Structure 1
């Protein structure tokens, strides 16, 4: 279960400090040594219901609510870049840890931030990319070498180049260099170079079909729970259709596809 950091006695009331401190406490509590390859699987083990769905409003990165019965629920905009989705999930996890007693939280892309959002952003960047991920970078290397190292870090820690660059701000890099890096198009990582953690192991043919399921808001974890419940006669076929919000033909295709996926 998630820890409640709203009751934690921090040494400072500074929200940035709290976010960074909590990130390392959580990495230690969850026994995360290096990169987080599947943030959704990791945080679902914390009893958080996570859904990814294509949203019409591209400005919304994610939504968090604490439902009185279901508990912690997070919706991530599946239209976003995969690394952006990872960051949004880590950001929302901070709201789970600090703000579950408040109203629902909606995160907008490129909006002015309050202190709570600043805490969540600092938590997310340090939770996904710890200090040890950037400690080898120093100001003595060439610009071209720096570009290569940043790309390597992005792909190892599954974060965007912006996350890495902003983390470098505290390592004596000049504002001029930071701005140059943010504008360098070579640091825009191709979509084809990123792997959805929920689709690892699936064949290329299954990828597209499973992506359509995920973008509709149905998690692969939920499909497996419903499928198991039906196979163990805990729910009827009609109840399974209701849970999946599908008609008979679509549900049959899904279950056949899922059987193939589970065998891969």
Structure 2
């Protein structure tokens, strides 16, 4: 490859990354004119300079030498271009980029092991909703279909991160801007990946995982999807919220839970029995005890715990399914009742299961463990070297020497 071709690719990578020549020059500790000369093909770029520029432009060095570099926008570049706020804090940018690197490493290892490409769950082809009502209808219908496909029945979902992983989607908790609940990424270099906000409490993280799962099912044509307070009114976001509510709180499961609590039954049940003596019927009514069917804060709190959702999400779902009306839902959502629901869960030592965040460190365990397993298997089968396995350990934040010891033990079996 000649100097001019490399120069053209360096310029293209810099422009895609939205980096000025001055910024590139500062990174190399060179005058801007040196970058101009490099990009014009008038000056050769050294190996060290190329490595530094590749890191700055978020491109692998090999991209600059490939016979036909990928014209598709790099997922990291697209992510930082589409998701405003990621670059405002270095720790957030670093954490998100690290999660993407782990996913990319996982895809690379799967390729070395001859695994099939991660296609993910089936794609549901639905038109973009034209109204909020249509968005809710689509979301609830797809949630029911997906539960049937996964054979979940009406039971609560035990672990959303594990469920996504089993469906070929990398899933993790990561540091995100406060207004951002989650990200959905889809690129051939990483497959499909979901990141949810480490700042949010567990119940909200679970809801965000289900929300982003909806995007994987319905909106996977995008390289990057951002779910935040600024775009919550978009129809596909409303659809994803409806999917998450119905997927985590299935109607049949909620009905059964209320029955177990002695709630949710009709206020009056007509009883009609055939009378063999007269050929007519015997009629009567069965009425529950007064106020016995009232759904209180303690019922909502327990349902929230059982299905792993927030107190508010449980109230809105009960209202959607007409178990509570508008005045009743407003009362349940009042600060006094919501606080009482929290006190109820605290008294039973259940509060932390919903209302404490899963930290970014613990939230990446599922993702890191899957990639670590791939690394060990690739080394055991001789597909990667010791050095590459040490690099895998560095990428996933595991002591490379310990990983190597485990790999050697696995190879010896």
**TM-score scaled to structure 1, two decimals?**
0.77
* CA offset digits 1:139-159 (Å, max 9, x no partner): 84476x622222222222111
State yes or no: 1:83 paired with 2:196: no
Q: RMSD over aligned Cα, in angstroms? A: 3.5
* Among candidates 18, 23, 34, match of residue 143 of structure 2: 23
Maintained 8 Å contact 1:65/1:74: yes
* Among candidates 166, 181, 195, match of residue 332 of structure 2: 181
Q: Which has the higher contact order (CA 8 A, sep 6+)?
A: 1
Structure-2 residue corresponding to 1:5: 124
Q: Aligned-pair distance for 1:62?
A: 0.9
Regions of 4+ moved over 6 Å: 254-257
Structure-2 residue corresponding to 1:124: 244
Structure-1 residue corresponding to 2:171: 50
State yes or no: 1:155 paired with 2:305: yes
Structure-1 residue corresponding to 2:70: none
Report how many aligned residue pairs link the two structures: 241
Q: Aligned-pair distance for 1:109?
A: 4.7
Structure-2 residue corresponding to 1:193: 352
State yes or no: 1:69 paired with 2:165: no
Other structure's SS at 1:35 match? coil
Unmatched runs of 5 consecutive residues or more in structure 2:
1-119, 268-290, 407-413
- Structure number with bigger Rg: 2
1:139-154 aligned within 5 A: 140-141=291-292, 146-154=296-304
Rate the CA distance shift 1:173–1:107 in 2: closer, same or farther, 3 A: same
* CA offset digits 1:80-110 (Å, max 9, x no partner): 2111111111100111111111352111158
Query: CA separation in 2, counterparts of 1:110 and 1:148?
Result: 33
**TM-score scaled to structure 2, two decimals?**
0.51
Rate the CA distance shift 1:90–1:247 in 2: closer, same or farther, 3 A: closer
Query: CA separation in 2, counterparts of 1:193 and 1:18?
Result: 33
* Among candidates 364, 375, 384, match of residue 226 of structure 1: 375
Other structure's SS at 1:6 match? coil
Q: Aligned-pair distance for 1:36?
A: 0.6
